[in-house]
Amino acid sequence: MCGIAGIFHRDGRPADGRAVAAMSAALLHRGPDSESTWLDGPVGLAHRRLAIRDLSEAGRQPMLDASERIAVTYNGEIYNDRELRSELERSFGFRFRSTCDTEILPYAYLAWGEAMFERLEGFFAIGLWDRQERRLILARDGIGIKPLYYSESSSRVLFASEIKGITASGDVAARIDPVSLHTYLAAGHPGTRQSLFQDIKQLPPGTMIGFTERERTERRFWRPVRAPVIRDLDEAVVRLQSTIETVVKSQMVSDVPLAVLQSGGIDSSLITLTLGRLGLKPPLFTAGFTEKSHDETTVARQIAATAGLSLNVIDGEAGEEAESALRAV
């Protein structure tokens, strides 16, 4: 989890570095490993890094391509970055200086423009500034796993991973939107475009928005694909198992140690059993409680034993561990 934020003054005013820094500071919890801001006339980008891929300084953001035309601040994980990297090297002659998935993004935009988003497999929230076209692009993955909020007017655009990143700019007040609140209380969410606050919206999943000084464009680049009808149970089992294995293997790419938060539920159990079947052995962690209705350690131990993996049980009621968990949240 990283944090991104940015400002684009559509009226040409220089971006306020203090405002960009304040937006970044509000997202400290999303990226404790490093912090950077980048200013270019009317634009300011910020990034809070939680380092997972290429832990060196080469992975620091905001990141620019070698020509310094495209600047990117990004939160997420691109699982087909190796394939895209190879294609960009082979077909366009680009050269890369890191193994970080972030680095493919500015070059992908130079190669394919907005069509790059259809090629990305993973989850992401992206802020991209094209210095030549003087255009800001915001994009969010198809499922909407990574959050991205924005506020726009005729004179400026603000964006951030969280609402408080926008309000920290001092340009937008945190005022509850009564209509969105009503929708939230009735449906459990404010909708795919709104937030609970006035003048702050969320970018819908699978959508990109482009801003210039005078124009605004919006395009939906992803829609769910209807799966073929399966009428045979055995075929369904085989397809589901193959899909889960493909997804689990694709998400094991990391330059830091990986682990599994194992509960007694279906989701984590499927992942753990798949890891065991693939011969992968990350450690498992679960929280134990004396209150039996909260405790899932018995089932977690059974799943761990079946998968042949080690389980670490943390006392969920101990003071130090509870405080650490609260800080993590």
pLDDT score for 323: 66
Instruction: Compute the C-alpha angle 315/316/318, nearest 5°.
Output: 65
Q: Are the C-beta atoms of residues 225 and 24 closer than 8 Å to each other? A: no
CA torsion 65→67→69→70, rounded to 10°?
Answer: -10
pLDDT score for 41: 97
Where exactly are the structural domains of the chain? 3-220, 233-328
Average pLDDT over the chain reads 92
What architecture (CATH level 2) is domain 233-328?
3-Layer(aba) Sandwich (3.40)
226-269 tens-digit pLDDT: 878 888 899 999 999 999 999 999 888 888 888 999 998 999 99
pLDDT score for 254: 84
pLDDT score for 226: 82
3-220 maps to CATH 3.40.50.620: no
User: Which residue in the list 2, 7, 200, 248 is annotated as catalytic?
Assistant: 2
Per-residue pLDDT, averaged over 8-25, amounts to: 96
Q: Are the C-beta atoms of residues 273 and 322 closer than 8 Å to each other? A: no
Q: Are the C-beta atoms of residues 160 and 4 closer than 8 Å to each other? A: yes
If you average pLDDT over each of 132-141, 221-230, 251-260, which comes out highest? 132-141
pLDDT score for 321: 60
Per-residue pLDDT, averaged over 137-163, amounts to: 97
48-104 tens-digit pLDDT: 998 888 788 888 899 999 999 999 999 999 999 999 999 999 999 999 999 999 999
Instruction: Judge whether residue 329 has pLDDT over 60.
Output: no
Res. 28 pLDDT band, cuts 50 70 90? very high
Instruction: Judge whether residue 322 has pLDDT over 80.
Output: no
257-297 tens-digit pLDDT: 889 999 989 999 999 999 999 998 999 999 888 888 888 99
Instruction: Judge whether residue 130 has pLDDT over 70.
Output: yes
Q: Is 2 a catalytic residue?
A: yes
For a pLDDT cut of 90, what percent of the chain falls above it?
78
For a pLDDT cut of 70, what percent of the chain falls above it?
97
163-211 tens-digit pLDDT: 999 999 999 999 999 999 999 999 999 999 999 999 999 999 999 999 9
pLDDT score for 227: 78
Number of neighbouring beta carbons within 10 Å of residue 108? 27
Res. 139 pLDDT band, cuts 50 70 90? very high
